[in-house]
Structure 1
């Protein structure tokens, strides 16, 4: 098997592609899609009647078996011993517990996504109990995240860019590139390393957690730095749910303007929806359109970041001098190809309207593999690495970049949505 072993990037591309192809074939021939378990609940009664049921546990077990088989296949493709996956059942159980906690409606309302509970559970176990040695062989956080990104590619549909609205797309392009550059410049001023700068800038400018994860995959970033950026995104999003509507009211903004402002500044889709709903139905609609417009830019941004990182990657202690195309190809993260291929497949080859059930399952798989990745990160991370001097500086930069984002996006939202250009 070592002679046939693949790199992690190619392995994730194969695994992700295999699931997508099988999903399409099974739905085409048999009309079959997986029955995904539910994790959403409001009260204790809902938890017992909707989540902790025999049928739901069966669905969870089916997903576990499929995920375990995929992990074993990934180990085989990479030439790893199958025994390294023996800790996966515990990793899966911990992740499911986090998904159940994150499925609570109150947590959803305040913008606490499942990945933060995955991270916290892992951190508590590793720092207060100690991660068992026998589970460490399956803590492949980067691989889990990359597989999730392949599935994410299937949900980035090019035609949806037009459906998102020209005005939303114009605002998103201007805001994303401007805020990203400002954040990166600020990181440089604070002497923050390039890995952290890339992840932080993408998170604050594009679409929060997903952007940070995609950037980390594209540059092969440190998982501990990624976990810190994700924590920043989720924690900062919570007070913004309360602050943004209040500021919009004080400024006398209409629902359209307020929605455009909210959608362009808050970094998580769940928090955007919650904040827009607080302001009004029209604000909810516009904020969702603007945030979706930023989401569809993620694939383009990940590709550009991957090319840039491949071109400027260090050789030893020095930057390489203008590497040729072969060197760039060798360094280029191959999973990005899988991400793009999945997006192209559902954008131009597979009719998305007919295959919506397949896309829905792939989106669920995306969330599961992201969650597995963050549980792994928590189980490998020491608290001290999350509160070191560099991370404190990163927090200041993130807050500074988010402040710039709030002010700049308000200006752009006014120019795009607040002025009736047809009357000028």
Structure 2
């Protein structure tokens, strides 16, 4: 899934079979993201049904134009921010303790993550922020990268840099803001487009890597990292094909490097071409390798939509199109690739070394469970709002039910983007070497070109009219 997790931390989760069985329901990060996300949606709905809202705890800085205005706003909401921090810290600590992390190691670090994220929110709420393209995700990434590659962060304060947990939780919450009817309508297009790119990208990376003399297993790990969902795909496929321990870090390094480059490149090019928000989001979803990086790019481009920039559509369209392509379309391939490549590995690449069999159940163990949470959250909100007119939805449902969930989602994404920056050190890119970089870059070219053709020329009308 998302990029940015440190290689050492990522390798700790590299075993695809750890926590399998019923115990994975409370021992896996994916499932805790689902439980926390769905619980949040259910609580929000319960409050909505009683004529109230969870908006009090979902506080975030509002637009401000002067320091005095900002100070007055923060002073008035101080109690809400303290309560929000306590709730976040308590819920996250319980979830991470269940998967094996010491709460004490998390809580001290989370103070840093929350305070810096609040400062990022404040800067993003400045009324001149859009003029300078100061979107909170990009601010978080820039600031994290600056800190990580200059002064650095003491290891004792790294316990809350949980990139994947935050982004998975954010994706589940995103489902509540994305009507299931939209998924049913645009889902087939998203799955078709994503499947074309996933298959083609994997084959290009794999065969270029093999032509350059790289091992089957490294070639497969690189191919999955580029074709599906970055870090998680690299880890899962490395386990499925029994790759060498040095293979996943190489793939992860290249995923992180290109994901960061594309965060800034894709919105700039899309803006220069004047792509509608939905079309730009679809291109980002087809071209990006990592969920967190892709969300940053999609949110940044969506924030540019409006009459003042000449970009048609809305910010939601960019995020929705990205999500349908990346989460609904591409991420579901992780289980398929894991099963297919594990069969090939055992049948052909390891014929002389083992007679082990491959469990069909691997397709379930590899499947990104947060996608289930995303779909359930979307279905739940669709069911409870059925029969409500569009006018009533905008007047009643959106401000009291959807807006607070959206605010909490943005908090989760900001935690993730900041953590990406804080765990990404440019010197870690050196071990990737030349040949893996050439093979992976070939996949980047395929993603960009084919993704553009599909998003703009083939399915452009679908993405431009998304949710209209």
TM-score normalized with structure 2 length = 0.66
Counterpart in 2 of 1:328? 363
Gaps of 5+ in 2: 1-18, 210-217, 239-247, 286-297, 351-355
Of 67-76 and 408-417, more deviation after overlay is shown by 408-417
1:342 matched residue in structure 2: 377
Corresponding residue of 2:91: 70
- Which position in structure 2 is the counterpart of 1:284? 312
Other-structure match for 1:91 = 113
Is the partner of 1:187 in helix, strand or coil? helix
* Residue 338 to residue 400, structure 1, CA distance change in 2 (3 Å): closer
For residues 326 and 362 of structure 2, what CA distance do their matches in structure 1 show?
A: 25
Question: Aligned pair 1:375/2:375, yes or no?
Answer: no
After TM superposition, list the pairs within 5 Å mapping 1:151-190 onto structure 2. Answer: 151-161=173-183, 175-190=193-208
Please give the secondary structure, in 2, of the residue aligned with 1:284.
Answer: coil
Alignment of 1:11-410 (within 5 A): 11-29=32-50, 31-35=52-56, 36-39=58-61, 41=63, 43=65, 45=66, 48-50=68-70, 53-85=74-106, 86-104=108-126, 108=130, 113-161=135-183, 175-191=193-209, 194=220, 197-198=223-224, 200-201=226-227, 227-245=256-274, 264-265=282-283, 268-272=298-302, 274=304, 277=307, 280=310, 284-285=312-313, 292-293=320-321, 295-301=323-329, 304-312=332-340, 314=342, 323-349=358-384, 351=386, 353=393, 355-356=397-398, 357-386=400-429, 389=433, 390=436, 394=440, 397-399=443-445, 401-410=447-456
1:231 shift after superposition: 1.8
Q: 1:262 to 1:395 in 2, by over 3 A?
A: same
Structure 2 counterpart of 1:205: none
Query: What is the alpha-carbon root mean square deviation over aligned residues?
Result: 4.4
1:358-404 per-position Cα deviation (integer Å, ceiling 9, x unaligned) = 22222222221222123223323322234654557645643553234
Q: SS of the residue aligned with 1:138?
A: coil
Where is the helix percentage greater, Structure 1 or Structure 2?
A: 1
Structure 2 contact 191–328 (Cα < 8 Å) conserved? no
CA distance in 1, matches of 2:59, 2:121: 11
Shift of 1:54: 1.2
Please state whether the residue corresponding to 2:179 is helix, strand or coil: coil
Distance 1:342 1:416 in 2: 24
Count of matched residue positions in the alignment of Structure 1 and Structure 2: 390
1:28 Cα deviation from its structure 2 partner: 2.1
Question: C-alpha distance in 1, partners of 2:382/2:232?
Answer: 20
Contact 1:224 1:377 in 2 (8 A): no
Query: In structure 2, do the counterparts of structure 1 residues 301 and 50 end up closer, same or farther at CA, with 3 Å as the change threshold?
Result: same
Unaligned segments of structure 1, at least 5 residues: 203-210, 249-257, 419-424
Instruction: Output the TM-score relative to the length of structure 1.
Output: 0.72
CA shift, 1:67, in A, is: 0.7
Q: Distance in 2 between matches of 1:337 and 1:309?
A: 18
